[in-house]
Structure 1
Amino acid sequence: MKSTKKIILTALIGVLALGSIGYAATKKTSNKKVASAKLTRKFTCDNRSVTVENLSTDRVKLTESNGKSYNLKLTRSASGEEYKGNGVSIHIKGNEAAFTKNGQDEACSMTQSNADNNNSGNTTASHLLRKFDCDGYQDITVENLSTDKVRLADGYGSIYDLNSAVAASGEKYSNGNISIHMKGNEAVYTENGKDKSCSLKSTGKGSIEQ
């Protein structure tokens, strides 16, 4: 009798142990963070096309249409994103940019972003759309309306028009209460004085409907 009880007890312990292992594996999987997207933009300039890939918050890889590539670093600018290195620079403000090489400036317009093929059927809009995941629970969508204005939609249905604001580097837009400071694939969203860290989730073209 004692032997039978011992066998049953051993079996129950084994079942509980397997259950604990399964729960731990499930919990580990559910907490795994989804990898963030990398912003890639293509511009048509006066004499060439260039592709700008954000490698991090302060570095990009710029590739000319002839295949020549440059690693550029984010620098201080009054507004927008400016990257420099090896005698080459690009200053991006929304859907427009200025590309400089050997002291010669070229005006550029954005023609494509890395998620254009994932648009929700809107083929007429040409504004850059970026979606950020902020602190893991709220999505923020940013539409570049012009070189100095964006439209922002938060995860709760509110929409704001923000103007370009001074920042040491990167793009910053604000209306005094709401602001977003974007640097490459990362951003800081501020509402009522509270900051939220954000990671780029996807990009494309389109518009935020009011």
Structure 2
Amino acid sequence: MRRLFARALLAILLIAAIPLVLVPVYAVPAVHPVSTLMLADHFSFRPMLREWVAIDDVAPVMVYSVMMSEDGQFCRHRGIDWGEMRAVVKEALAGEETRGASTIPMQMVKNLFLWNGRSYLRKGLEAPLALYADAVLSKRRIMEIYLNIVEWDTGVYGIGAASQHYFGRPASELNARQAALLAVTLPAPGTRSPADPSKSLDRLARRVERLASRSGDYVGCLKPAKVS
């Protein structure tokens, strides 16, 4: 029993060490991380579309639209939006239906290392991983990785594949309307289509389009550094 326990503990420690080792590796721009969903598709021989696009080659309005749709405080928090998190806990304690409080770093680490589905265990793992990733990686690199691993349709991963899949153009040529539609698709990519939006999706996209156009200092951490 002791030997089995020791082996189980060693296995847990090895699994826990994977993100600790890989996150610093992912800081290297030449490294193109893959998500657990991509790996599942690859090993089950399911069709998959993916084209890595550097953040400098993504239309800025696309980057800003995703931030304003998914995580408006992205540039201001350190991996977790504690204000949103407290609001969700308060709602849960009151017996109300809770809203999502996942930040982009939390979604990134979930896609890279964890699994889909709502569970307290996964949320408990997400939080420290998001704090660690935000401490190690720059905000632009976190956004770059997220944009390239998130699923926009079944088997369609990353902004490069999504922009071609839905609009037949590279990510660098997306306009404000297309960017907003792609951004509001992310919470439910299996049921929302930016190429054929419902009335409710259209309303959400118009709101995100307005927010992105007025984002100003909120997106400061995502703007390229000025070369002197």
Pick the structure with more strand per residue: 1
Q: Please, what TM-score do these two structures have when normalized by structure 2?
A: 0.22
Q: Please, what TM-score do these two structures have when normalized by structure 1?
A: 0.24
